[in-house]
Amino acid sequence: MRMLALALAITVAGCAKQAPATQAPVPARADTTTARTDTTPPATVGPGALSVPNADPYPSTYKPFPSKPTLIENVTIFTAVGPRIVNGALLMKDNKIAAVGKSADDPAIKQAEGGESPVVIDGTGKFITPGIVDVHSHLGVYPAPAVESNSDGNELVNPATPYVWAEHSIWPQDPQFPRNLAGGVTTLQVLPGSGNLFGGRSAILKVVPSRTVQGMKFPGAKYGLKMACGENPKRVYGNRGGPQTRMGNMAGYRAEWIKAEAYRRKWDAWLKNRKGEPPQRDLGLETLAEVLRGNILVQMHCYRADEMAQVIDMSHEFGYKVRAFHHGVEAYKIADLLAKEGIGAAVWADWGDFKMEALDAVRANMALLWKAGVKVMIHSDDPLGSQRLNQEVAKAMAAGRAIGLNITEEDAVKWMTINPAWALDLESKIGSLETGKDADVVLWSGDPFSVYTHTEKVWVDGALLYDRSDPQARWRSDFELGFVPVETTVGGPQR
């Protein structure tokens, strides 16, 4: 089976027949035909006419699923912040991690139980980790089945489409969502594709069943902006107006940032006293202005080291930060620069060679970045890879140890939990097993870095949403009903 990256490349080519649009669509302007003398906006202007920082017009309606206080005891705990706790205990209560302790009798746990008896799970021989965070997913925008009608990830009509939002494409019935949950993934960043210089806004989701995208959206999460370097935009636009070259890519970004900076100044000035006619809202420039204000995080697809260095200079030129470079197969070549800039690296364990810009992939990439002090994290870009990110981390850890780096499992756990949580600016809510954090927890049948280990149970905000031992209770998407034989349901046989 071909990897998704290649599939996307083909999809990109397939969509290239569409006529290019030159102008981003903008919402209808507020009525300004009537001359007004007062200084407040006309009463008929709805919130949609204004370009307001941190606006949330499609708000999350996510509510945690019903849960019972649950204690996992006699279990090895990887907290993602400290050394492992052997034969420890963890209590989930009221959607949060209520306490982590050395045993079920730990005073902290007893106190958090508050006299109530929790559901007790014996974790003998088993491990728990925080829920896995995948910062590079296309679930819902490139769902299964991967048919043309469902291909909603790349708005290939213009190299700059910061005006599209992934959440407006995501199909909550993508059968890949339950499969990701079964792999221990509890938070996803769903990104638009990489065919455009500016691909659009990402969506941060809790991996839960829902009728609507709003019902999956991570409450309070910042948006990301997908940007892309290198071959993909060149390939898509090379024979239809450009960019045709890497220098064309750079010119394309810079032209947009110049417009965005002017837009931000105009709106910030107006928003100061909200007097007079408001400037015209522009969805694309609004997203870019939010990046310049620090309210949206740049998540940039970039393979080659030299291109990342160009982008870093560009970020200085326009005064924004790249939160993380994604794919980054050459990130190890500039590990020192990334560390100095405080930019995260979201990478694969061992993908490479599938195109020229992926040629210099090495398996020690993550390990070398870790050694240099870079916030490094695993990512999938793939509906199958995301089901076993623990295995990907295991490979990356082994590659580092093979060149003599002393990477502990405690270090490696961070690569799939707290570090990607940081990339989403959610590290205060998820990514580690600490009191007060969201109770996103994975129970593993053994060491999560063994090839034979499976997830056994997965909790999202304290609610048990995946249980390997209970095939009847599994989340099946609408699509699967009557199409996908029930016996194939994620998980396979009990070992």
Partner 1 sequence: MTTWTRLLTAALCAAAAFVPNGAGAQTIAITGGKVYPVSGPPIENGTVLIKDGKIVAVGANVTVPSDAEKVDASGKWVTPGLVDAETQLGLVEVGFGAGANESRARSEQGITPDFTSWDGLNPRSALIPPAREDGITSVMSTPGGGLIAGQAAMIDLFGDTRAGMILRAPAAMIASIEDQGGDGAPAKGQQIARLREILQDTRYYQKHVAEFDRGQSRQMSVSPASLAALVPVLTGKVPLLINVDEASDIQSAIDLAKEFGIKLIIGGGAEAWEVADRLAAARIPVLAGAMSNDPISFSALGSRQDNVALLRKAGVQVALIGNGGGDEELFNVRNIRYEAGNAVGYGLTWNEALKAITQAPAEIFGVADRIGTLQAGREANVVVWDGDPFEFATRAVAVYVRGQKQNDVSRQDLLTKRYETQPPNYEKP
Summarize as ranges the residues that interact with partner 1 (CB under 8 A).
Answer: 1, 3-4, 6, 9, 14, 144-148, 175-176, 179, 231, 235, 332-336, 348, 350-356, 358-364, 368, 372, 382-385, 387-388, 391, 394-395, 397-398, 401-404, 449-454, 479-480, 483-485, 487-488, 490, 492-493, 495
Structure tokens at 46: 């709805």
The terminus-to-terminus CA distance of the chain in angstroms comes to: 26
- Min dist CB 155 to partner 1, Å, is 18
The whole-angstrom separation of Cα 393 and Cα 130 is 14
242: buried, middle or exposed (CB in 10 Å: 19+, 13-18, 0-12)?
A: middle
- Min dist CB 68 to partner 1, Å, is 29
- Min dist CB 445 to partner 1, Å, is 9
Parallel/antiparallel/unpaired status of strands 185-190 and 132-137:
parallel
The whole-angstrom separation of Cα 379 and Cα 401 is 20
Residue among 227, 280, 201, 284 at smallest CA distance from 24: 284
- Min dist CB 173 to partner 1, Å, is 12
Q: Which is nearer to partner 1, 97 or 170 (CB)?
A: 170
DSSP code for 160: B
Looking at residue 130, its amino acid is: P
Residue among 491, 485, 495 at smallest CA distance from 470: 491
- Min dist CB 119 to partner 1, Å, is 27
- Min dist CB 236 to partner 1, Å, is 12
Give every CB contact of residue 23 below 8 A, 6+ residues apart in sequence. none
Q: Which is nearer to partner 1, 118 or 383 (CB)?
A: 383
- Min dist CB 294 to partner 1, Å, is 29
Q: Which is nearer to partner 1, 272 or 495 (CB)?
A: 495
436-471 as b/e: b if 16+ CB within 10 A? ebbbbbbbbbebbbeeebbbbbbbbbbbbbbbbeee
Q: Which is nearer to partner 1, 276 or 492 (CB)?
A: 492
Q: Which is nearer to partner 1, 283 or 308 (CB)?
A: 308
Q: Which is nearer to partner 1, 165 or 444 (CB)?
A: 444
Looking at residue 441, its amino acid is: V
Q: Which is nearer to partner 1, 222 or 401 (CB)?
A: 401
Q: Rounded to the nearest 5°, which phi and psi values hold at 49?
A: -85, -15
- Min dist CB 182 to partner 1, Å, is 9
Q: Which is nearer to partner 1, 184 or 200 (CB)?
A: 184
Parallel/antiparallel/unpaired status of strands 455-460 and 463-467:
antiparallel
